[in-house]
Structure 1
Amino acid sequence: MTLPSDRHYTVELHASAERVPQIQRILAAHLRYWNLELHIPPVCRGVAELLTNVHRHIGPDARCVVELRWSGRHLTASVADQGPRLPKLRSAGGGGLSTVAALSDSWGTCGTADGKVIWFTRRVEETRKVRLTSQAPLRSVPDAKGQPAVPVEPPADPGAGATADGPAPAASPAVSFA
């Protein structure tokens, strides 16, 4: 399935600490749907850092907007809030923007009429599809002492059974590599 290269998702929320894991799950689902599985951990972590900063510096009742945009070549995540003060990059390893900077190819901030937007981007290479096929188990090969080794079984069919995304595909599953 080929998806259009310009994809967009936006959600508005209160910046409470309880909402961060929920937003991460929602973003992960969108990235999975867009076949961008390799970007789930860094994007979710970066957005979590930005939401934590909103919660910490503006307050838990602060409204903010989280946005994902995929142009086909770049994936951009942003968090907009109503805080007037632009953040500053502190020393590396301190979390917040230093973590976002480490997880991204570029990042930035900009003031708006009603607050600010903090964004980061990641380059997205075109994914290649590789077909996995089932093979017969390997024959036993004697170990160094001449004893028969335990046969190696192929991995279980990852397409068997239902998944969170729905029923398993009828054909062999495809795996994306970036």
Structure 2
Amino acid sequence: MELQALPSRIGQVRRIVSAQLRYWHLDALIDRAALGVTELLTNVHRHAQPDKMCTVELELLLDRLTVSVHDHDPRLPQIHDAESFATSGRGLSMVAAVSESWGARPHGEHGKVVWFTLPASVPSTPPVLVPASSVYGVTATDPLLADLETVPDEDRVPEHAPARSAVVG
């Protein structure tokens, strides 16, 4: 998305990034991605010359999310040691702390791209199998189950457990 990096727009971009990550089922990355994009956009707002126009891109490839911000200022950012009581100057340090990697490179004739990556492996949770008897009210002696193996008692859902679909995951 292309935008002018103004404080009023940064909140909107955070919401858009959060919504996209929810759509991709990457909810666990929302806080870190929103913090990182906020810091990168704040840097554009505070430091970029000649204007505050930029482009934010999210790219999901295999197991890695890359968030990048392109602007028109060719000067590459650097991490600075902020004083203990300073109210600014920690943006890139925070990006480095929450990301897997980050960097900056020239982009085009006049401009740069600053990016960070987050591991995007979706945790795989094995499906929970629920005995057919608790879902459909059939019993082990029911002819429908004649060809199925009996579920061991230790694998059965307790009687007080709420009924769910046959596979939850």
Q: What is the TM-score normalised by the length of structure 1?
A: 0.65
Unaligned runs of at least 5 residues, structure 1:
1-10, 133-153, 155-170
What SS does the corresponding residue of 1:90 show, helix, strand or coil?
A: coil
- Show the 5 A alignment for 1:1-178: 11-58=1-48, 61-91=51-81, 94-112=89-107, 113-129=109-125
What SS does the corresponding residue of 2:34 show, helix, strand or coil?
A: helix
* Aligned-residue offset at 1:126: 3.1
* Aligned-residue offset at 1:125: 2.0
CA distance in 2, matches of 1:39, 1:18: 23
* Aligned-residue offset at 1:116: 0.2
Letter in 1 for 2:117: T
Letter in 2 for 1:67: E
CA distance in 2, matches of 1:83, 1:70: 26
* Aligned-residue offset at 1:122: 0.9
* Aligned-residue offset at 1:84: 1.5
Residues 36, 108 of structure 1: CA spacing in aligned structure 2 closer, same or farther, 3 A cutoff? same
Q: Please identify the structure whose Cα radius of gyration is greater.
A: 2
* Aligned-residue offset at 1:96: 1.3
What SS does the corresponding residue of 2:7 show, helix, strand or coil?
A: coil
Q: How many residues align?
A: 132
CA distance in 2, matches of 1:103, 1:47: 11
Residues 29-65 of structure 1 deviation map (CA, whole Å, 9 limit, x = unaligned):
0000000000000000000000000000126951100
**Whose helix fraction is larger, Structure 1's or Structure 2's?**
2
CA distance in 1, matches of 2:120, 2:74: 32
In the alignment, is the contact (CA less than 8 A) between 1:15 and 1:60 conserved in 2? no
CA distance in 1, matches of 2:126, 2:90: 36
Residues 108-166 of structure 1 deviation map (CA, whole Å, 9 limit, x = unaligned):
0001222000000011223224668xxxxxxxxxxxxxxxxxxxxx9xxxxxxxxxxxx
**Whose strand fraction is larger, Structure 1's or Structure 2's?**
1
Q: What is the TM-score normalised by the length of structure 2?
A: 0.68
Q: CA RMSD in A?
A: 2.9
CA distance in 2, matches of 1:126, 1:25: 21
Residues 52, 91 of structure 1: CA spacing in aligned structure 2 closer, same or farther, 3 A cutoff? same
